[in-house]
Structure 1
């Protein structure tokens, strides 16, 4: 009997030791790879790092009995720099998962590396739908919006309001090109037409030549297929050039809450756009956002910062469930677990890594409608994830197709 007990005890200890060994280096390490100083820094940057740390703190600082560590770095919106940082993190610093990665070009490169290293990419900031399409990975999850959903939710209502002719001002890299492409498809599908587009470099300070081309096109709508500082500069200069006074409408296809704050309601009023989160939507969003604001100089979180919290929390739940930080073990578990938190209610992760969640059609309030700080948006409509995001069959994700 004593021998049997000893054997059982040894077996249990062996199982526990083996399970613990699945957590590499005795620590679950998460890297926030983001824009800390460039055109998207206000929308992600230090706020995304804070959101990741809040997720870890709220989880209790440990997962599967092991400590959790958060580190961060600035990829400067350059794919080579972002890839080099990710490779260093994976190869020499024991990072198990990377999150945020606002640049689509950086995200595509890091997703491929994460697959090669069997790590996890929690992409919250990038817009390219290729992350769950032709460049999909079983090690990647795309958490917030993507360009398909942004265009699908926001562009169709404008075309349906008889704003049929469009001209695009587009950031000349993968994110902007994909956003224009998706929006153009929606315009045409709803009976509109695209009269042309102008491509501008990232972080452009002078849009005059591009705006003159847009003005000369006589398009009813000038669509801004850019984001962050580029979107704000283009919008301000469009107003200065008199595009709206001349009868053209401006449609900003990607707007983040910090952008509206920087622009002011006087400049941003009436903008209609899609997003995945608004801090003041309900009691749950307000409760978390007020905790964030208390630690972030009173600034309300944008959707991409809130998304980091949701993604990190869900990742930790999967690590807890599997007692592993190996990508090929953790991501399938993430897809099994339901998502239900302040950021994503009744959501799930699809086979291709796309988080299927509600999207919102929003409009910036008039100055007279805003009653307190950061009271900026009206929620015009809630679009179910199944309708907002690209259907699985249309993404042509290679590993999904191969499995069928």
Structure 2
């Protein structure tokens, strides 16, 4: 090409660049920017709650990304990880950086209600979807509800309502609560009390233990002396394990029915069936529920050498449903995606016919489970006997007593 031809070609290219593009090309550029879809997952990755969510929860999200082919609407999907270390300030800092600097499209909030409240506040200011999976406080869909906040897996309302209704309807009407004296524990007792009384039961007494208590003997003695039929343990993990050990030592495990109001499969695994047998709990999912749940759990086991908790299953589902919404709308615009999520039902190995209520609660079935005796179990991780299924509308009442 000589000099004159080069000048003509350059001029032609410049003129072409100045010409208006077709509306289709402009829309494609607006809808399909050449950047990754970014999902942020912030949870306890290294602390006391890492087992129930943590790195294995991140692996569950990766499984969802893989199941969508790694790209959605022509864009690759990227997972950002944050370890909040159970500190709300750290959680807020991570969320602010993700939204302000890293261009995160959606966040999955992991365990710990205080850290989740910090992250949902940031997400609400930016109008970006946040799927709350590991944190159960009902404040997120009541006092601090916002259009971008989705309470996906469970809440203090459901955890306390399901056993409160299920066991009281079976005729176990006299309840006593041992409650961790901080907002999460107090929420559990309040919601449980409403459910028990709505089903015709009575709260015959309650005591509050300091958060982090080691000696549960005096609290359990008060429960014994109340002659209650059901003891609700409104605490979780470390305190639950200590209370259960004290129950065994005091020979109280056969004197009343026990309910762990925040209990996961990891807690049962740590206690062992001999110690945990007969304990009631509510959960949103369990891996032996059906063939599809089993199939996914076996895939998870191959990667993690353990069966998934309900939170890890919900991490997978939340990521999958978000990516399906992008695929359906061909957009990551928060308003477009949230509108689609509110108009559809959620169906996968975790949830059946789930739907978003106007307050952001994802309504779905919850299960009243009882821990099997060792002779009933078919092997390691086979821990649960389903007792009752409570539909989402009843498991997640809009207000106490409704």
Asked if TM exceeds 0.5, the reply is yes
2:159 is equivalent to residue 150 of structure 1: yes
Separation in structure 1 between the aligned mates of residue 390 and residue 205 of structure 2, nearest angstrom: 29
Deviation of 1:252 after TM superposition, in Å, equals: 1.1
Q: How does 1:4-403 map to 2 (within 5 A)?
A: 10-21=22-33, 26-244=35-253, 247-297=255-305, 299-391=306-398, 394=399
Q: Kindly state the Cα deviation for residue 287 of structure 1 after the two structures are TM-superposed.
A: 0.8
Say which SS state the counterpart of residue 32 (structure 2) adopts: helix
Distance 1:345 1:119 in 2: 25
Where in structure 1 are there 5+ consecutive unaligned residues?
Answer: 1-5, 396-404
Who is 1:402 aligned against?
Answer: none
Distance 1:235 1:333, change over 3 A: same
The CA RMSD measured in Å over matched residues stands at 2.3
Q: Structure 1 residues 331, 204: CA separation in 2 closer, same or farther (over 3 Å shift)?
A: farther
Q: Per-residue CA shift, 1:105-135, capped at 9, x if unaligned?
A: 2222221211101221101112222322222
- Cα distance between partner residues in 2 of 1:202 and 1:28: 40
Q: Which moved more, 1:137-146 or 1:189-198?
A: 189-198
**SS, match of residue 226 in structure 1:** strand
Q: 1:205 to 1:58 in 2, by over 3 A?
A: farther
Report the Cα distance in structure 2 between the residues aligned to 1:318 and 1:7, rounded to whole angstroms.
34
2:15 counterpart residue number: none
Q: CA deviation at 1:215?
A: 4.0
Deviations 1:235-280 (CA, angstroms, capped at 9, x unpaired): 12222233335x2432212221111111111111111222111111
**Alignment TM-score, normalising by the size of structure 2:** 0.88
Q: How many residues align?
A: 383
3-state SS of paired residue (1:382): strand
Q: CA deviation at 1:149?
A: 1.8
Deviation at 1:329, TM superposition (A): 2.8
> How far apart are the structure 2 equivalents of 1:320 and 1:327?
13
Structure-2 separation of matches of 1:39 and 1:194: 32
Asked if the contact 1:253/1:273 (under 8 Å) is kept, the reply is: yes
| Contact 1:256–1:303 (Cα < 8 Å) also in 2 | yes
- Higher RCO, Cα 8 Å, sep 6+: 1
**CA offset at residue 190 of structure 1?**
2.8
Which runs of no fewer than 5 residues in structure 2 stay unpaired? 1-17
